[in-house]
Structure 1
Amino acid sequence: MNFGQFYEIWLQQLHALLKELGTAPKPPSSPDHHSYLGHLVHRVISHYEDYYRVKSHSACTPQVGVFYIFSAPWLSSLERSLHWVAGWRPTTIFHLLYTETSARFEARLLDFLHGLRTGDLGDLSPSQLSRVSDLQCRTVSEENLITYQLGLWQESACDLVSLSRVDQDDPEIQRLLLVLKNADDLRLRTMKKVVEILTPQQAVEFLIAAAELQFGVRGWGLDKDQDRENRSS
């Protein structure tokens, strides 16, 4: 199985998890519901961990390689255009979270004015908002460092062109693999830390929004690519 095939299967499994997230009790009304939501969130995070584990392994193998992972031919043109270091930019999480929070807060504004707490993403506490803001600042700093590391690698990439054969053990390849590993670690770590800040109900809503965004961008991108192929044929 190549990485593109793995990704398609992984997406199908994510879609199944999205359905489970969508049917989870909201708000949870019993300890069993809270436990179930926590278990479901853990399963989704584990699913993302599986993706990055296989991606890292594939990037290190001669059969796939880091250049193939960066080129991502299994994705649409739109998805690739949005990539930062072979994946989504970690700070995208915060834009998504703030968008969902604002939309839910506005939708429940009358409830809040009457002192009713909803417990959803629109009901983040001051402590939660402060922790999210601190995490965002740290993530931006790490993002900038990784961008700088990739820039340094690109400046020296001309050394590879002079080689008749590029080996996986070449120091320049290993440097690029490290940049990719740092970027993927930051992506996964940022998602996990945001989920840790949220309540189980809020985490479920956040993970639904993240998956729907991923499927939405992919669907739109595939449609655009198909339209382009139809016009050129």
Structure 2
Amino acid sequence: MTTPENTYRHPFHSFFDCWLVELNNNLEKLVSAANHHHEDDDINDDPDSYSLIDKAVGHYEEYYKAKSDGANDVLSMFLPPWLTTLEDSFLWIGGWRPTTAVHLLYSKSGIQLEARLADLVPQLNCRDLGDLTSNQMKRIDELQKKTIGEERVISEKMARLQESAADTSMVDLSNMESEMIRKNEYHGRKDSDEKVESALNGKNDKLVEMLRMADGLRIETLKSVVEILTPLQAMYFLIAAAELHLRLHDWGMKKDAA
């Protein structure tokens, strides 16, 4: 999506563009490493593989830290101008729903398992996401249940915040302001503006709290999934995550341009 020179560009937008470029760089390195290690047994002893996984996860941590640092403009974080309308439609409190990481894992696991069966690939030569152990499946199921519970708590807090748009103080302020507009009274506007600003600042602080809670759960869930997986499986998961992120952005750009 091109931005006209005379159109305001949010400071986070430049960071996001650079972050996407680095995400694609990480993706290419992960694909190369995964292809190299697919039928090898040395990945658990390969420090470069662990370093690559840590770098990929750290890249997501960098994203959420930048969001937190820019949360003083929290309204932009809830409706990010750097995202496409397609991406906006999938947002949950300023980002992807944390359980999406688990759904992504299950989807990629199923795809790789189906590909293995279709190609009649011997199981001993495959250690990808189609080869999750029963213990891994149990831990993933427990993680999903835990994450759903934490999502519910945050969603309920967000619902209460949204409902507070019609609480007594807001209704009283809106009535007072409306009466002044009807009567063309301007002498009390400064006092009224200060009350409105104070009330909205309180809501703003709550929005910052909600955003940081949601982002915290997002990165915590991502890291928990990676910890459950073997190094090679973690690579395949991070590849799928990066591909989905990049392609959704590309598809959204095309739709917005059209």
TM-score, length-normalised on structure 2?
0.80
- Cα RMSD over matched residues? 2.3
Conserved? CA contact 2:158–2:210, under 8 Å: yes
Conserved? CA contact 2:37–2:43, under 8 Å: no
Matched residue count:
223
3-state SS, counterpart of residue 157 of structure 1: helix
3-state SS, counterpart of residue 224 of structure 1: helix
The aligned counterpart of 1:41 is 53
3-state SS, counterpart of residue 90 of structure 1: coil
Q: Residue 74 of structure 1: which of 47, 58, 82 is its match?
A: 82
Per-residue deviation, 1:172: 2.2
Per-residue deviation, 1:116: 2.4
Q: Residue 143 of structure 2: which of 130, 135, 152 is its match?
A: 135
Question: Is 1:119 matched with 2:127?
Answer: yes
- CA distance in 2 between counterparts of 1:57 and 1:208 reads 27
Letter aligned with residue 86 of structure 1: G
The aligned counterpart of 2:95 is 87
Conserved? CA contact 2:140–2:228, under 8 Å: yes
Cα deviations across residues 103-142 of structure 1 (Å, max 9, x unaligned)? Answer: 1112213788965251111111100000000000000011
- CA distance in 2 between counterparts of 1:101 and 1:151 reads 34
Cα deviations across residues 43-93 of structure 1 (Å, max 9, x unaligned)? Answer: 011111111001011012xxxx11111110111100001100000011111
TM-score, length-normalised on structure 1?
0.88
The aligned counterpart of 2:222 is 191
Question: Is 1:20 matched with 2:29?
Answer: yes
Per-residue deviation, 1:33: 6.1
- CA distance in 2 between counterparts of 1:152 and 1:168 reads 16
Q: Residue 12 of structure 2: which of 3, 11, 15 is its match?
A: 3
Counterparts in 2 of 1:52-63, with a 5 A limit?
A: 52-60=64-72
- CA distance in 2 between counterparts of 1:124 and 1:168 reads 51
Question: Is 1:153 matched with 2:165?
Answer: no
Larger RCO (CA within 8 A; separation ≥ 6): 2
Q: CA, structure 1 residues 115+202, in 2 after alignment: closer, same or farther (shift >3 Å)? A: closer
- CA distance in 1 between counterparts of 2:199 and 2:236 reads 41
- CA distance in 2 between counterparts of 1:175 and 1:213 reads 31
- CA distance in 1 between counterparts of 2:146 and 2:134 reads 19
Conserved? CA contact 1:21–1:204, under 8 Å: yes
Per-residue deviation, 1:34: 3.0
- CA distance in 2 between counterparts of 1:203 and 1:114 reads 21
3-state SS, counterpart of residue 94 of structure 1: helix
Computing the radius of gyration over CA atoms, which structure comes out larger, 1 or 2? 2
5+ long unaligned stretches in structure 1: 228-233
- CA distance in 2 between counterparts of 1:202 and 1:76 reads 30
Letter aligned with residue 75 of structure 2: F
Q: CA, structure 1 residues 34+110, in 2 after alignment: closer, same or farther (shift >3 Å)? A: farther
Conserved? CA contact 1:160–1:172, under 8 Å: no
The aligned counterpart of 1:214 is 245
